[in-house]
Amino acid sequence: MREKHSSFLELRKFVAPEFVFGAGARHLAGRYAANFGARKVLLVTDATLHQRAPWVEDVQESLDRSNIPYILFEQVSPNPRSAEVMKGAELFAQEHCNAIVALGGGSVMDCAKGIGIVSANGGHILDFEGVDRIPRAMPPLLCIPTTSGAASEVSQFVIILHEQRKTKIAIVSKAVVPDAGLIDPEIAVTMDLYLTACSGMDALTHAIEAYVSNASSPVTDLHALEAVRLIWQALPEVIKQPDDVGWRAQMLMGSLQAGLAFSNAILGAAHAMAHSLGGFLDLAHGECNAILIGPVVEYNYPACPEKFQNIGRIMGIDLEKLPTDAAARELRRMIEEFRRRVGILKTLRDLGVDKLIIEQLIEPALQDACMATNPRAMSPKDVKDVYEQAL
């Protein structure tokens, strides 16, 4: 009996913030900020988004309607640097802000979370690396995602680039879960196709890694599998019909559910290796994951074949009757074919990686917080082999 119900007996926590999902959710920014007691808002976004889309103005108007003053902070790079976080925190203090609204992709939201951590706790953002190391609660934070992948609007994760170490550090804590997310499919329509494909593959990687993670639970499994189903169906359609807000909404729902899963079940080797690689060469996070997830799935398959068979079933293949190594190869082939179908054709070599660089990626990947929940342990040689398979 105990054996049968073992997954219900393990201690597992599930944290999720309040969120509003649906067309026009962005217009609620002012009302939500007011509810959180905002007197002055630091509005974190990125300058490129501001130039090419009306979303920043929409959020500004919403804050204006609620009579909440704000100051813009737009100096956020695609891989947010620790120095940018510190600049944002300085502006937050100088301008006497007491709340943060983040409008952007994962980089913007993570930078905003970093600003919140430093504003509440002092010190330097890099001092907070690791799990559960944030003593004081952040100021109220409202997140409005503009991509369908990172899901930082619901997650306990912050990823910041450590400039000196040339790697990305992970900060994981319940304290960085935003107070609310406003998740608006209308915003996703302006994402360009390559970014759509990369952030979509990032979301698929979240779903797969959360599902097979050592820290998964019946509740995270539910969200993870549903995310695989939604993304597997929607991503190729979004690439074919980028203006279709219905498919964009399904993709965003998939990304959200993947976020609920991975925020609580944590991730695995693809993310650990993508953080190391993306930090070292300053590469796009989604693109790194898209290239690494296939070889990582093949490596992890023997650790939990039933779970991978469930994923295969959603993707339309029956892996049960195949020997383990053939099933692992087949699932990898399916995922890599999917990646190419959505337009990501590059290999690690195309991104400038070679065998010498791989040597330098191994140790940071093994030290990354996401490696601890990978379902199959990895030696330095295993990490090297998986990187080399993606060359």
Q: In degrees rounded to 5, what are phi and psi of residue 80?
A: -60, 130
Q: How far is the CB of 206 from Fe ion (least distance, A)?
A: 6
DSSP string, 322-369: S-HHHHHHHHHHHHHHHHHHTT----TGGGT--HHHHHHHHHHHHHSG
Stretch that binds Fe ion, among 21-29, 40-48, 194-202, 301-309 (CB under 5 A): 194-202
Q: How far is the CB of 291 from Fe ion (least distance, A)?
A: 13
Query: How many whole angstroms separate alpha carbon 251 and alpha carbon 274?
Result: 22
Site for Fe ion in 371-390 (CB under 5 A): none
Stretch that binds Fe ion, among 16-24, 202-210, 303-311, 368-376 (CB under 5 A): 202-210
Stretch that binds Fe ion, among 70-78, 135-143, 197-205, 305-313 (CB under 5 A): 197-205
Q: Closest CB to Fe ion among 153 and 202?
A: 202
> Is 209 one of the binding residues for Fe ion (CB under 5 A)?
no
Q: How far is the CB of 255 from Fe ion (least distance, A)?
A: 10
Q: How far is the CB of 151 from Fe ion (least distance, A)?
A: 8
Q: Closest CB to Fe ion among 202 and 226?
A: 202
Stretch that binds Fe ion, among 28-36, 200-208, 230-238, 331-339 (CB under 5 A): 200-208
Stretch that binds Fe ion, among 118-126, 199-207, 228-236, 314-322 (CB under 5 A): 199-207
> Is 110 one of the binding residues for Fe ion (CB under 5 A)?
no
Spatial neighbors of 195 by CB under 8 A, at least 6 apart, are: 105, 147, 286
Query: How many whole angstroms separate alpha carbon 110 and alpha carbon 102?
Result: 9
Residue matched to tokens 């609920």? 260
Q: Closest CB to Fe ion among 46 and 202?
A: 202
**CB of 157 within 8 A of CB of 258?**
no
Q: How far is the CB of 368 from Fe ion (least distance, A)?
A: 12
Q: Closest CB to Fe ion among 43 and 204?
A: 204
Q: How far is the CB of 154 from Fe ion (least distance, A)?
A: 13
Q: Closest CB to Fe ion among 205 and 250?
A: 205
Q: Which amino acid is at 271?
A: H
Q: Closest CB to Fe ion among 173 and 255?
A: 255
Instruction: Compute CA distances 167 → 81, 116, 309, whole Å.
Output: 10, 22, 34
Stretch that binds Fe ion, among 64-72, 96-104, 165-173, 195-203 (CB under 5 A): 195-203
The residue count for the chain: 391
Cβ-closest position to Fe ion: 202
DSSP string, 280-333: HHT--HHHHHHHHHHHHHHHHGGG-HHHHHHHHHHHT---TTS-HHHHHHHHHH
DSSP label at residue 5: T
Q: Site for Fe ion (CB under 5 A): which residue of 202, 221, 336, 368? A: 202
Q: Closest CB to Fe ion among 147 and 250?
A: 147
DSSP label at residue 81: B
DSSP string, 188-252: HTTS-HHHHHHHHHHHHHHHHHHHHSTT--HHHHHHHHHHHHHHHHHHHHHHH-TT-HHHHHHHH
Question: Which residue ranges make up the site for Fe ion (CB under 5 A)?
Answer: 202
